[in-house]
Structure 1
Amino acid sequence: MATQKTYLVISALGEDHPGIVNQLSRVILEHGCNIEDSRMTVLGGEFAAMLLVEGRWNTLAKVENGLPELGRQLGMTIVSKRTSGRAAGGNLIPYAVDVVAMDHPGIVNNLAAFFAERNINIEDMATSTYAAAHTGTPMFSVHMTVGIPADLHIAGLREEFMDYCDGLNLDAVLEPIKG
């Protein structure tokens, strides 16, 4: 009889230093669990990690119980929450959104509002700032994955999105994720 998978989401935040990923992943492995999905990055001087850990309910409990001590050892704030497997997305088609613009406040909020008003879920997002080549102008880039309902008229949505971005002076692309 197959056992139903159980999951734990772990969020860790603290001052960046070498060895954090090693120690986090070792505790998970030592308790018989597996990292199924993760996002880790350095933001400013802080290391931030989000991990989806899979294991039996009792092995996840051991991981949960060890997190406060691990947080103390690493000098990090670590929180966790039990979760279920992701429900099937229904008739959602994954699309990639890429936006580049001169950096200014409100870009993320404007993009989020566009999709929220159309009940389109932002499933993943990464942003960054950089200096433009040759001029050094502060630039901002956003890459996100959105789930677009299959019954939505894609050409109409794309036209609305491009017009919206043009009005905000954002260079944007909305295209299906291939593969």
Structure 2
Amino acid sequence: MKQSLVFTAIGKDKTGIVSELTKLVWQFGCNIDDSRMGIFGDQFSIIMLVSGTKSAINQLEVRLPLLAHSMQLLTIIQRTHSLGMELSDDQVTVEFSGKDAPGILKEVTEFFARRDLDLISLRSKADKRTEKISSQLIFKLSDEISLETLKPEFNHLCEQLSISGKLLHI
């Protein structure tokens, strides 16, 4: 029976971190089901969902902190269950951009949370030089909300926030 764990690692950015982490996952015959990484200032951050046999996950759970310590990374490791949140027909991608201002991302995420839509993925970047924000979010649609209902409401929100936005059905 497959088991899953999610881990987060953060530390000073240096070449080879992802290579070492993925090598360890591979050594135990585990699979990387999902991952996100980024560089924030001079700090590296990664979150990874890994699956494998019970024995493999047990071994990875023991060895991962040792590798992370040797690379001066802080880690959090947690067992989890796969929820089958792969890309499917009931998901929508939200993209928006515009002049950056405090609260824009809060307003957009709150808009979808009030409609009980599950946020699956979020990527947002504010460019200090141009003072622009660019974001992409992926939500799981509910049976009660349709894309046709969301579009005009989201367009109205974009007008209120003075941003450009669009909804794309995946």
Same fold judged by TM-score > 0.5? Answer: yes
Aligned AA (1:164): L
Counterpart of 1:44 in structure 2 is 41
Among candidates 115, 118, 122, match of residue 118 of structure 1: 115
Q: Which aligned pairs between 1:92-107 and structure 2 lie closer than 5 A?
A: 93-107=90-104
The superposition leaves residues 104-163 of structure 1 with CA deviations (integer Å, 9 ceiling, x where unpaired) of: 1111111111001000111111011236xxxx6310001011111244243222111110
Larger radius of gyration: 1
Counterpart of 1:30 in structure 2 is 27
Aligned AA (1:147): K
Tell me how far apart the structure 2 counterparts of residues 73 and 138 of structure 1 sit (CA, whole Å).
38
Tell me if the contact between 2:6 and 2:79 (Cα under 8 Å) persists in the aligned partners: yes
Tell me if the contact between 1:128 and 1:141 (Cα under 8 Å) persists in the aligned partners: yes
Tell me how far apart the structure 2 counterparts of residues 65 and 141 of structure 1 sit (CA, whole Å).
39
* Deviation at residue 15 of structure 1 after TM alignment: 0.6
Counterpart of 1:82 in structure 2 is 79
Tell me how far apart the structure 2 counterparts of residues 60 and 125 of structure 1 sit (CA, whole Å).
27
Counterpart of 1:145 in structure 2 is 138
Give me the TM-score of the superposition, normalised by structure 2: 0.91
* Deviation at residue 92 of structure 1 after TM alignment: 6.7
The superposition leaves residues 47-81 of structure 1 with CA deviations (integer Å, 9 ceiling, x where unpaired) of: 11111111111111111111221121111101111
Counterpart of 1:166 in structure 2 is 159
Q: Which aligned pairs between 1:5-16 and structure 2 lie closer than 5 A?
A: 5-16=2-13
The superposition leaves residues 1-30 of structure 1 with CA deviations (integer Å, 9 ceiling, x where unpaired) of: xxx321111111111000101111111112
Three-state SS of the structure 2 residue aligned to 1:52 is strand
Tell me if the contact between 1:8 and 1:53 (Cα under 8 Å) persists in the aligned partners: yes
Tell me how far apart the structure 2 counterparts of residues 129 and 168 of structure 1 sit (CA, whole Å).
15
Tell me if the contact between 2:94 and 2:138 (Cα under 8 Å) persists in the aligned partners: yes
- Sort the Cα spacing of 1:88 and 1:53 in 2 relative to 1 into closer, same or farther, 3 A: closer
Tell me if the contact between 2:122 and 2:138 (Cα under 8 Å) persists in the aligned partners: yes
* Identity score, percent: 28
Three-state SS of the structure 2 residue aligned to 1:24 is helix
How many residue pairs end up in the alignment? 169
Tell me if the contact between 1:5 and 1:85 (Cα under 8 Å) persists in the aligned partners: no
Tell me how far apart the structure 1 counterparts of residues 149 and 64 of structure 2 sit (CA, whole Å).
48
Aligned AA (1:111): V
Aligned AA (1:121): D
Tell me how far apart the structure 2 counterparts of residues 120 and 163 of structure 1 sit (CA, whole Å).
18
Give me the TM-score of the superposition, normalised by structure 1: 0.87
Aligned AA (2:164): D
